Chains A and B, each alone.
Chain A
Amino acid sequence: MAKKERLKVRQQAAAERTKNFDEVPFGYDDSEAADEASRCLQCKNPTCIEGCPVNINIKEFIRQLSAGDKAGAIKTIKQSNSLPAVCGRVCPQETQCEAKCVLLKTGQPINIGALERYAADWEAANLKTEAPKIKPVTGADGKQIKVAIAGSGPAGLTVAGELAKLGYKAVIFEALHLAGGVLVYGIPEFRLPKAIVKREVEYLKLLGVEIETNVLVGKSYTIDDLFADGFSAVFIGVGAGTPSFMNIPGENYKGVYSSNEFLTRMNLLKAYKFPEYDTPVKLGKKVAVVGAGNVAMDAARVSKRFKGVEEVHIIYRRSDKEMPARREEIEHAKEEGIIMDLLTNPVQVLADENGFVSAIKCVKMTLCEPDASGRCSVKAIAGSEFTIEVDNVIPALGTKANELLTTNVKGLKLNRRGYIEADPETGETSIPGIFAGGDISTGAATVIAAMGAGKKSAAAIDRYLKKNISA
C-alpha cells in the first residue's frame, strides 16, 4: 500500500483562480480521503504526533478515516484541536507532522493536512453540532468561575475552548468588530474562507464561550477592572500586531499600505467588494510587495486577484531559497504569475505630483558566505540602482509587539522587544493570575504555535484556579 504516491489535492487552475477570491484547493472527496488514509503505515511509534504542536492523535484519526469512521476521526481530532478546519488549511504541515512522517524518506509523506481538513469539512456538512454536557466549576460563592481572554485570535480561541470544556466561563474580549483575529483580518478568503472561521467561533459559543467584540482590554476595561468584575484569571493573546515599515524615503506617499492595512481592508472589510462594501482600496496596474514571508505571499496573491491589477512583484533582498514563506505559498504565487524580484532591496519610494506612488527605486544585492549561524548576509552592489514603475508598495516585513495593552498593565514584565515574558510551558507572566501566549509573547509565529501556547496556558490556568480559587 505504501508504494502508492501521495495524493495531490485538486485545486483551481491558476488562470481561473486569479479572477476570484474562492478557496484554491478543493479538498479531498470521500474516495480520495480513503485512499490517502490507507497509505498510512500505522507506525508502532507514530512520530507524526510529536511533530504536532497540539499533539493530535494523528495515527488514530487516519486509521478511523481509512476504516470509514469519519465521525470517529473528527472526534479524535477535536480532543486535541478545537479548530481543525482552520489548521487543516493553514498549518505548515511540511515542517511539523508531515516532517516526522516515516514516509518522508520516500518523498511521499501522508497528506495529513488535507485529511484533517477533510474530516472537519465532513463534520460540518454531515453532523449536527451539539453542545457537550459540561459541569460548571464554581467558586466559594457558588458561581461559575470566570476567565477573561484578551484577543480572539488562534491563541484566545483555543484557551476559551479548552477552559469551557473544563467547566469555566470563558469570556473573550476582541478589539475588532468580528472574532477571529488574524484568521479574519490577515489570512485571505482563498486560503481560509471566513465562513469556516465563523463556524469554528459558533462552535465555541455552543460550548458556552462568550465573545464581546469592540472591547479593547487595557482601554475599554483595564486588567484591574476585569479582576474587579469577578474574573479570576486573565489570558492575554492580543497578537504582535504592529506593522514594520522599511524606513526609507517616500514611505508615506499615498498608495503605500502596510501588509496589515492592505489585508485588513481586503479581508476584514471586504474592500474587494467596494462599493457594495464601503471600505475602499486603491490599487493601480502594478503592485510591489516587499518581503517574502507568508504575509507577503498573501498580499501579492490578493493584489493579483483585484480587478485592474496587471502586474504584481515580490521584492526580496535575499534569494529564492531564503524566502521564509511556506514553499506551497511560494509555488502558488509563482503559478499565479507573481514576479519575483530577488536579491533586490528598495531604497526609495517615488511619487507623482499628486503624492501618489509612481515607482520604487531599488538596489541589487549580493549574498555573501554564510556566517556562523548559517544564514547568508547580504550587501548592496554599488551603482546597481534601478527603478520599477509601480502604483502601490506594500511592505510585508513582519510585525512588532503592539504595546496598547501591555504598557497599560503595571508590573507586567516585558522583554527587550516589548513582548510579554511568559513561561513557554504555562503562559505564566510576572503577575499571578495573568497568563499570555501566542505572538504577544513569542513574536510573530504561526496559527498552530499560538494554539499550542493556548492549550498549555489553559491547562496552567486550570491548575492555578484549582489551587487558588475553586471551592
Chain B
Amino acid sequence: MYKITLKRQLTKDIKLMGILAPHVVRNAKAGNFVIVIPGETGERVPLTIYDWDKESGVVYIIFQEVGVSTVKLGMMNEGDFVYSIAGPLGRHFHIEKYGNVVVVGGGVGVPAIFPIARALRDAGNSVTSITGFRTSELSILEKEMGSVSDAVIIATNDGSSGTKGLVTDVLKALYDKGGKIDLVVAVGPVVMMKAVSELTKQLGIKTIVSLNALMLDGTGMCGGCRVTIGDKVKFSCVDGPDFDGHLVDFNELTSRLSAFKAEEKISLDHCKIHLAGR
C-alpha cells in the first residue's frame, strides 16, 4: 500500500497525484512510466511519470478520468493508499544534445513531455514546447512547461487560448518561419501523434513518439502492448514506449486500443451503479 501525499484538481477531469514510492523514484528518469492498481480488485494501469522527488520518494502522476480505473483513482484523496505502484518502467527517453528540439504535447500527453523537455534542456538543447487542448478550460501545465522551455506555444481547437488550431498547424508555421528543427518529440492522443509524424516525415524531421498501448505487467511478459514499428513487432513496455514516429503503424495501434471498448463501458457502469448504491 502506497500513500497519496498530494492531490490537485487541474481541470474537471484531470488530476495530479503524488504517491509515496521510493522504489519508483530511486532510478526514475524522463520518459519512464508506472503501473498503478487503485484498489485490490483493480486493473493494472500504465501512467507516465510526470515528476518525482528523490528526497521525499514521492512520484507524481497526472491522469484524466476516462475509465473505471482512473475514475477510482480520482476518487482517492490525500492520506489514502493506492493498492499498488510498480516502476520505473519502460526505457527512459534517450537524452543527448540534438540542437533545436520541439516537444509537442496534446491534452493529457503534456505531463509526459514535461520531464522530457526538462531533461533535453538540461542537456543543452533549445526547447520549444507546443501544447494543444480542445479549449482553454482543459489547458494544463502552462507555467510548468514555461519553466522548462525556451518558448511555449499553446494551441486550442476553438481559439479560446493561444493560437487557434491544431498543434500540427503551429508546428508547420514554426517550420515555415525557417527555424531549424533537429528533433520533434510528440506525446498525446494517437491521432495527434500520427498527424505530427506525417507532417514531420514530409518535412524530413526526426520524430519520437511515446506510445500508450494497452498492457498488463509492463515487464515484457504478456505481449499485449505489441506494436508494429517498420516491419518489426515490438513491445511498447520494454522496447518503448518511445519509438520513431515515422515507423509506427498508428492505424494498428488505434485499433488495438479499442479492443475492450465494450467492456470498458460495462466496467464503468458497474462501478457507477456500485457507487450509487453506497
Contacts and interface: CB of A to CB of B under 8 A. Distances in A.
Interface of A: 175-177, 185, 212-216, 219-222, 225, 241-243, 245, 251-252, 254-255, 257-258, 260-261, 264-265, 269-270, 274-280, 282, 354-355, 402-404
Given A264-B221, A278-B41, A278-B69, A221 B216 contact: no
Nearest to A262: B222
Given A241-B220, A278-B69, A355 B43 contact: no
Interface in B211-245: 216-217, 219-224, 226, 228, 233, 238
Contacts of B221: 185, 241-243, 260, 264, 402
A269 B88 contact: no
B7 interface: no
A402 B216 contact: no
B84 A260 contact: no
A402 B72 CA distance: 32
Contact of A241 (B23, B44, B219): B219
A175 B219 contact: yes
Contacts of A258: 222-224
13 contacts: A214-B84, A221-B26, A221-B27, A245-B233, A254-B259, A264-B216, A265-B216, A269-B43, A269-B216, A275-B266, A275-B271, A278-B69, A282-B263
Nearest to B269: A275
B118 interface: no
A252 B226 contact: yes
Contacts of A243: 221-223
A254 B255 contact: yes
Contacts of B263: 274-275, 280, 282
Given A213-B84, A254-B256, A242 B42 contact: no
Given A241-B221, A258-B224, A280-B264, 16 more contacts: A214-B86, A215-B23, A216-B86, A220-B86, A254-B259, A258-B222, A258-B223, A261-B222, A264-B217, A265-B216, A274-B267, A275-B267, A278-B43, A279-B42, A282-B260, A355-B255
A255 B256 CA distance: 9
B144 interface: no
- Chain B interface bracket (under 10, 10 to 19, 20 to 34, 35 or more): 35 or more
B223 A261 contact: yes
A284 to B, nearest CB: 12
Smallest CB-CB A-B distances: 10 pairs: A280-B263, A261-B222, A214-B86, A275-B270, A177-B84, A258-B223, A355-B255, A254-B259, A278-B43, A220-B23
Interface string B243-278: 000000000100110111011101100110000000
Contacts of A220: 23-24, 26-27, 86-88
A278 B259 CA distance: 15
Nearest to B25: A220
Given A220-B27, A221-B23, A260 B222 contact: yes
Contacts of A355: 255-256, 258
Contacts of A260: 221-223
B86 A177 contact: yes
B37 interface: yes
Given A269-B216, A278-B267, A280-B264, A257 B27 contact: no
B190 interface: no
Contacts of B192: none
B83 interface: yes
Nearest to B273: A275
Contacts of A265: 216
B273 to A, nearest CB: 10
Contacts of A275: 263, 266-267, 270-271
Interface in B64-112: 68-69, 72, 83-89
B252 A212 contact: no
B81 to A, nearest CB: 13
B66 to A, nearest CB: 13
A282 B264 CA distance: 11
Contact of B86 (A215, A221, A254, A354): A215
A222 B260 CA distance: 35
Contacts of A214: 23, 84-87
A340 B201 CA distance: 49
Contact of A279 (B43, B87, B256): B43
Given A242-B220, A245-B223, A264-B221, A219 B88 contact: yes
A252 B252 contact: yes
A403 B223 CA distance: 14
Contacts of B87: 214, 216, 219-220
Contacts of B42: 277-279
